[in-house]
Chains A and B, each alone.
Chain A
Amino acid sequence: MKNTVILGALTIAGLSAGAAAAGTLDDVKARGKLNCGVTTGLVGFAAPNASGEWEGFDVAVCRAVAAAVLGDSNAVEFVPTTGKTRFTALASGEIDMLARNTTWTFSRDVDLKFEFTGVNYYDGQGFMVPKELGVSSAKELDGATVCIQTGTTTELNLADFFRSNNISYEPVPIETNAEAQQQYLAGACDVYTTDASGLAATRATFEAPDAHTLLPEIISKEPLGPLVRHGDHEWGDVVRWTLNALISAEELGVTSANIGEMAAGTNNPEINRLLGTEGTLGEMLGLSADWGKNAIAAGGNYGEVFADNIGEATPIGLARGLNAQWTKGGLLYSPPFR
């Protein structure tokens, strides 16, 4: 999720003029399909279901963009990428945008020449322990054995956290999340640490999820968001404001249930501008007037997408936490539609 910056940098070093020079927006319209990079499979975020259709939290972003640009949320070609192939796929033009729980970092934004168009999930590194251990805070973990995926930034974050709190730990290096689940359940380590969303998803698969608890400490910032190639600002704007439209829709109370009613016109001018019944926002983006309406109708507003895929009613059961609207103590804050 976070390493492979070096690999990406190496592969991108060879590229200077490879990126498509023409506007991506025009390319997508001409093609009639959006090529959207997703992960090869991450619980709740992106995975094909039994009938082969992609669904998940990141997938919903792709579908919303496709609906905004092409008016059809199914006009998406999902290109599965691994942690190692994702950046080259975007840089070489194989995909138009990447929505693959990718952390927004300085070097990816600046050095790899990408543009993050916002944050669709605020994640952070957490800890999971068995309840019987009787630990209620990560600061009580002195001397614990910790299962940790090697070669990731979580490894570095962990070392920093324990050093700054003057406590010691013993790392148990593991390679994949699947291996970590087995090791942790077998008791090879007291603690498992990775992104909090990943921990919640992992815990949900346990035979007795209630016997394990997530500690309150979050020791790193992992803002995950969609990204596009650097330099194509029109296309970047489309992706950015589609995401903002989903967030604003939740704030303004526009849902997939009442959108038909609201699109007929309301007393709230901001809703009218968002849904295209007032103003010329769509035209400014180079899209049709009802782009915002289409994007929201694709899978609902941000809150609905969250609840459907990773929210508390799903097996993953993530609370909104940092991902609540700013009015409810979270970090989601869309600039105004004006």
Chain B
Amino acid sequence: MSDKQNNSIAFVATSVIPESPPPAGDTGAYKWVRDNLFSSIPNSILTLAALALLYSLLSNTLPWILNGVWTTSSLAECREVLNGKSGACFSVLSERWNQLLYGFKYPTDQYWRPNLALVLLLIALAPVLFFDLPRKLLAFTVIYPFLAFWLIWGGTIMVPIVALIGFAVAAVVFQKLGKGSFAAGFFGAIVAALVIWKVGGMLIPEGASESAMLSSVPSRDLGGFMLNMMLGVTCVSLSVPLGIALALGRQSSMPLIKWICVVFIEFVRGVPLITLLFVASVMLSYFFPPDATVDLFLRVVIMITLFSAAYIAEVIRGGLAALPKGQYEAADSLGLDYPQAMRLIILPQALKISIPGIVNVAVGLFKDTTLVSVISMFDMVGMIRGPILASTEWNGVYWELLGFAAALFFVVCYGISQYSQWLERRLATGHR
């Protein structure tokens, strides 16, 4: 039986053929290279061209970077050390790094203050950015702006405390009165805060700033990348709520509110940012007496915030428009009033749609903070273009300085965009 069976299908193997490795041409690096780089003649040509380009780029830049000089004290010395070879003069970074990061007037022994503020910023942002973290951390986020103000500007601690009390009282008043009518709560809160600030301002003794624990640093002395970060963080965090308010206002059924928002948005979007900055720095000083001007930093923050709020408002309007009308009707049919409907149903969905746009505006805004260098504020680019390139030691160093600035900005902007991609994935709830 078995014999017959063996004979009848002699061509059937009786044992499993042992596994053998795939042919050399179909495995590993070789296959990958052939499939991805040389799959056809045009592709091969493209690959070779790209390789040639890469080679010429790297063969020019790598020796320049690796030969870099880090320890000389002027460009002329760099050239002596290099002696005709190609090489970067990174000494300018090692000598002036503190000016690039903090500006040239921030007291050197106080650098720990902005550093600490930056570390605390990360802590304060964490619960906002990553909502899996315990909500109690938000308490620190609320205190952070006042703490950071005190750390960076110094002076008497009474100023941020009074400001904080003012906001706290305003919040309480809004809670109490806002239940009855929104307008009463809103205006009551503003009046309460103003009263607190006025009274508190009178209580702070004259000259308290001189004897304060942290020496006072005027806004004029801020500079470098610190200034870019401060402007970027402040303006983004202020312009998102303002942008939401403007976007909702533009859809309002109250004609006055609607038209104020429309005119504001269209006006600001039609004016270049640099014009607004010039107005902030130049024109406003005509409207105030010489001794009573508003702080330049504050003026610039207001202008950049208004500018980016208008853009964010349009982005959010796009998100609102993308929601099906049924969502609004569903909210109405549940009997929710306007604030509830917005807070619980409309905005969570609209904001989720708007995230890429908002991040886009935020990244652009952060880079736009370098524009303040044209109104003689010494942000990072201002420091490079002004004081550092105008010093007799470093006049003529361009690539190293601007490359450093580009690298710092790239790190921050790339971080922001990575975060937004994570956020989109995290919030994806199956609409696609």
A→B interface (CB under 8 Å): 11, 14-15, 18, 20, 39-44, 46-50, 52, 79-82, 84-85, 88-89, 92-94, 178, 181-182, 201, 204-207, 314-316
Contacts and interface: CB of A to CB of B under 8 A. Distances in A.
B376 interface: yes
Contact of B290 (A20, A39, A81, A88): A20
Given A52-B104, A178-B398, A18 B286 contact: yes
Contacts of A182: 398
A85 B392 CA distance: 24
A82 B274 CA distance: 14
Contact of A48 (B282, B375, B387): B387
Contact of B392 (A11, A44, A94): A44
A97 B393 CA distance: 28
Interface string B395-423: 11010000000000000000000000000
A85 B385 CA distance: 16
B390 A206 contact: no
Contacts of A82: 374-376
Contacts of B293: 94
A181 B376 contact: no
B241 interface: no
B389 A14 contact: no
Interface string B286-302: 10001001000000000
B412 to A, nearest CB: 24
A47 B389 CA distance: 9
A80 B396 contact: no
Contacts of A11: 282-283, 286
Contacts of A79: 220, 376
Contact of B281 (A44, A85, A316): A85
A80 B290 CA distance: 17
A44 to B, nearest CB: 6
A60 B321 CA distance: 61
Interface string B346-373: 0000000000000000000000000000
B290 A205 contact: no
A204 B395 CA distance: 9
Given A41-B390, A82-B374, A205 B75 contact: yes
A40 B104 CA distance: 12
Contacts of B387: 40-41, 47-48
B307 interface: no
A174 B395 CA distance: 18
Given A205-B396, A315-B76, A52 B105 contact: yes
Q: Rank and list the top 5 A-B pairs by shortest CB-CB distance, nearest first.
A: A41-B390, A205-B396, A41-B386, A93-B290, A40-B386
B232 interface: no
B391 interface: yes
B390 A46 contact: yes
Contacts of B76: 315
Contacts of A44: 392
Contacts of A315: 76, 392
